[in-house]
Structure 1
Amino acid sequence: MSNGHISPMERKCIIMTESTVKSYQNRIIQASKEQLLVITYELFIEEIMKALQALHEDKAEDFNRTMVKVHKLHRELTDNLDMSYPISRQLMSLYIYMNKKLIESSIKLEKEPLTEVKVLAEVLLEGFRKAATEESSESLVQNAQKVYAGLTYGKGTLNETVVNSIKDRGFKA
């Protein structure tokens, strides 16, 4: 970016980021607890890839900023383990190992430990995706409107349409 103007490439990145955020927002609103876990893993892996890219480009500041997000998402995964299941203890051990690798990567600015965590997370994601298709609990967000999006015949703009109208939206105390 120069002289306060946004280049076409930077504009494309901003639009892609906004559309990605909007997509995740819509998925989260309609997600069950199983689907939320899958979404968290997707975000975790996506942030790891951004951190790896920052290391590749030798951008330490971007790497550190992204690693803060990686650590927060990892913490979210760890905090949401249901320890009443035996497999959760095994997952906790794996999460502890992943945390050590994340810290190692953060301190040494090395991509090998981070790549190892990414590979482990991708394996877990596939397992949780399969489990999420077999489980079908209700959406955690009640009173949410369904939003469907599609390309219009205009200049490639994306329009959202609310299909069902809910009379009583919002939080209930």
Structure 2
Amino acid sequence: MATPTSAYNAYKQNSVTTASPGELTLMLYNGCLKFLVKGKEAIVDNNIQEKNTNIQKAQAIIKELMVTLNTDQDVAKQMLSLYDYMNRRLIEANIKNDISMIDEVIELTTDFRDTWKQVIQITRQQQYSNTQQV
């Protein structure tokens, strides 16, 4: 019989492998936010190693978001410069142990995530409408 932990891990793995590209992007934003919050908590707890690890994980997600952008579109070029800015702010936050810089990146990431969530919902509604007309 599977343990609750192994069942949960199997569920998590399955949700990633079956997710649409839009859902994967949403997962990246949520993961980034999780690591940013953990990084902030580590600064408060004066746990330098934990802070560094979590901020670097958030940076890795931001770099992944940068790589996946289709820079043929103007909006993607603007997002690329914002992602670059966020990455630089996290480097600085990590060096200076500055929670306000992390908060700034959290705010930007939350805005991106919420907008992306709306795009997914609108896309699903349009797809559903199209299948109902057939």
TM-score (norm 2): 0.81
Q: Indicate the residue corresponding to 2:120 in structure 1.
A: 132
More strand by share: 1
Which digits, 9 at most, give the CA deviation of each residue in 1:65-94, with x for residues without a partner?
Answer: 112211111111111111122110110121
Q: Indicate the residue corresponding to 1:83 in structure 2.
A: 71
How many pairs does the alignment contain?
122
Q: Structure 1 residues 118, 22: CA separation in 2 closer, same or farther (over 3 Å shift)?
A: farther
Distance 1:22 1:109 in 2: 36
Q: Cα distance, 1:121 vs. partner?
A: 0.2
Q: 5+ unaligned residues in a row in structure 2: which ranges?
A: 125-134
The answer on 1:49 being equivalent to 2:37 is yes
Rg larger for = 1
More helix by share: 2
Q: Indicate the residue corresponding to 1:63 in structure 2.
A: 51
User: Which 10-residue stretch deviates more, 26-35 or 46-55?
Assistant: 26-35
Distance 2:5 2:110 in 1: 22
Q: 5+ unaligned residues in a row in structure 1: which ranges?
A: 1-14, 137-173
Q: Indicate the residue corresponding to 2:129 in structure 1.
A: none
The answer on 1:73 being equivalent to 2:61 is yes
Structural mapping, 1:112-131, within 5 Å: 112-131=100-119
One-letter amino acid matched to 2:91:
I
Q: Cα distance, 1:134 vs. partner?
A: 2.6
